[in-house]
Amino acid sequence: MTAFSEHVLDTLRTGLHTDAHLDGTDPPSLRVTWIDWDSGFRGSRLRVADRIVAINGSPIRRPADLSQLQQAIRELPGGLNEGDVMAATGLADGGELRFTVRRRAYPGDGWTTVDVVGQVRTERVWSAENARRGLGPTGPDALVNDGFDSPWSSWYEQRVFAWSQVLDEGWSRSRRSNRPLLADELAEQPRIDLLVQNYPGPFARAAAADWQAVVTSLSGTPYELTSDALDFRELGEQRTAQITAAGQVAWQRYLADHAAETVPAFPSVDPFRGDRSGLVGNLVVLPEITPRQWLISMGSVFLSATDRTSWYFVPLEDPAVRALYEAANRYRRCVAPDLRESILIAGRVLPDPRMLAADGPSAAGFDVAPAAALMGGSLFVDLEEPEHRFAGERDLKDLQVAELRPAATPRQVIEGLVSALKLGDEDAWKALFADWYLVPGEGPPLYYAFYPYPPANVDEDWIRSRALILGDLEDVRVVWTGEPRLLLRGTDYPGAPDLEEVAVEVDHIGSFDGEHRAFCDTRVHRVWSVQRRNAGPWRVASFQGI
């Protein structure tokens, strides 16, 4: 193993990487984004993501003159000029520095305050006799790759960047999928093992410990689910079976009741030259139609059925088709989010033929006015009845969530949201969202006294959330709630309310390799805003699906 000599430089450093929060946060703080392997704060109680709020008992203060903000950031721990400031206060190599930090009480509620003591150190570098730089006193050589794709220096730089992204509240600051990131880190294990084996020393120990911490985080918190934890899914399965049975019975009854006026759809007659008298006005039952059989012609969309010689068309803009899809939307909201768009249509043949210039050869046939339809083998709608309810819709029993008390906490509000989702209680779910909106960002607050969940999004978010909770998502648990903060004061302007906010974080739980673990990906939202107006009930202010 190559011997590396230590060279002590003049610069004092904490070995911390920080992100300053001096403007708009209370209290002003430095968020620790990384702790270098040779930092004098390694082994102290300081953690990545801690907020430093005081140094040696002196609170970090927001500069009165914002023009001095950049200078203040440079002079604080982790800043470019931190060494000059520490030297000016009489600190030397090995001198102690005490921080007061705020740390999230995770899992739990609010924040805790912790005092940590570490050392400032003069910067050190290591080099071999050939002037090659080492990453630590026992190596490795910065430019050697030991058979891997990249040299140790660039590999470690890339890993530190990735590790910091995870350990610095990566689960709440990003919606990246943790499982692919975990696979990426596990692929680095051979290099970590070689580092520890061939270059034993403080650098290798620190890198291995950091890698293990990242793997533990990306693996997700393990959970034990009780034997009845997924019983709520049986309710959805029961509803699906109930509506499917009702739909099948209603479809067969409809066909039997109208058998006398039903004629075979195929073979048909020539729409322009043939005798249409035995076809027009009668019912035909079209073979199953899927979106692959839709035709687009002159900007219009048609559902189509063909035996390759003759055609039938159902305009998508037909009011009966719209009624069918409205019923399908109700089904997805109150029965199950998954419904195949395969449609059996019984319809009356209209007298005027039509020719469509779609992709490929032109298609000539008859328009059909839908009279009844069976979608996905489950959803039956008699389209000649005025209400257009699907079979069994009136018999669905409402499964209602216990009403929350007005004094329910933000944690209880999110738990109520999850309960409503599990039971399929759409009304209770929607009722927990705020009907006001405060535009986030810097500058004067822009507050809308009435701004409900946008109708264009709420139904879609509900359906997607139901699909998740009945699929990959097994449970949602609140893991942390923040402290209330005042977003708007009643004295800010006439008519303004007191508007408070609490941040809530949740774990989404799924099954991975036979275990129940927390996961994160682009389909789920971990961070939620819960607000209340004028000390009223807390309501969810994040207009988003689960």
Q: Which of the pair, 345 or 4, is modelled with greater confidence?
A: 345
> To 5 degrees, how large is the angle CA 23–CA 103–CA 106?
125
pLDDT at position 361: 72
DSSP 166-232: HHTTHHHH----HHHHHHHHHTTHHHHHHHHHHS-SHHHHHHHHHHHHHHHHHH--EE---TTTTHH
pLDDT band at 180 (very low <50, low <70, confident <90, very high): very high
- Report the mean per-residue pLDDT for the chain: 93
Domain boundaries of the chain, sorted by first residue: 8-126, 132-219, 236-382, 410-540
CATH topology of domain 410-540: Nuclear Transport Factor 2; Chain: A, (3.10.450)
pLDDT at position 308: 85
Q: Say what percent of the chain tops pLDDT 90.
A: 78
pLDDT band at 203 (very low <50, low <70, confident <90, very high): very high
Q: What tens digit of pLDDT does each residue of 118-159 get? A: 999 999 999 988 889 999 999 999 999 999 999 999 999 999
pLDDT at position 212: 99
The DSSP secondary-structure symbol of 25 reads -
Q: What tens digit of pLDDT does each residue of 439-463 get? A: 977 667 889 999 999 988 999 999 9
pLDDT at position 69: 86
Q: Say what percent of the chain tops pLDDT 70.
A: 98
Say if residue 104 is exposed, middle or buried (CB neighbours under 10 Å; 0-12, 13-18, 19+): buried
Q: Is the model's pLDDT at 427 over the cut of 70?
A: yes
Q: Is the model's pLDDT at 25 over the cut of 80?
A: no
Residue 13 in contact with residue 94, Cβ under 8 Å?
no
pLDDT at position 70: 86
Which of 170-174, 188-192, 221-225, 263-267 is the least confident region?
170-174
Q: How far apart are CA 207 and CA 473, in angstroms?
A: 34
Q: How far apart are CA 78 and CA 30, in angstroms?
A: 9
Q: Is the model's pLDDT at 280 over the cut of 60?
A: yes
Q: Is the model's pLDDT at 482 over the cut of 80?
A: yes
Tell me phi and psi for residue 241, to 5 degrees. -65, -40
pLDDT band at 304 (very low <50, low <70, confident <90, very high): very high
pLDDT band at 395 (very low <50, low <70, confident <90, very high): confident
Q: What tens digit of pLDDT does each residue of 41-89 get? A: 999 999 999 999 999 999 999 888 777 888 889 999 999 999 999 999 9
Average pLDDT of the segment spanning 250-272 = 93
Say if residue 309 is exposed, middle or buried (CB neighbours under 10 Å; 0-12, 13-18, 19+): exposed
Q: What tens digit of pLDDT does each residue of 207-257 get? A: 999 999 999 999 999 999 998 899 989 888 888 999 999 999 999 999 999
Quick one: which of 505, 487, 492 has its CA closest to 437?
Answer: 487
CATH topology of domain 8-126: Pdz3 Domain (2.30.42)
Q: 228: Cβ–Cβ under 8 A, 6 or more apart, which residues?
A: none
Coil, strand or helix at 325:
helix
The DSSP secondary-structure symbol of 293 reads G
Q: How far apart are CA 295 and CA 315, in angstroms?
A: 9
pLDDT at position 360: 65
The one-letter amino acid at 140: P
Q: Which two tokens stand for residue 258?
A: 């109208």
Q: Is the model's pLDDT at 399 over the cut of 60?
A: no
Q: How far apart are CA 22 and CA 73, in angstroms?
A: 8
Residue 295 in contact with residue 302, Cβ under 8 Å?
yes
Residue 94 in contact with residue 121, Cβ under 8 Å?
yes
pLDDT at position 359: 63
pLDDT band at 362 (very low <50, low <70, confident <90, very high): confident
DSSP 41-96: TTTSS--TT-EEEEETTEEP---SSGGGHHHHHHHSTTSTTHHHHHHHTT--TT-E
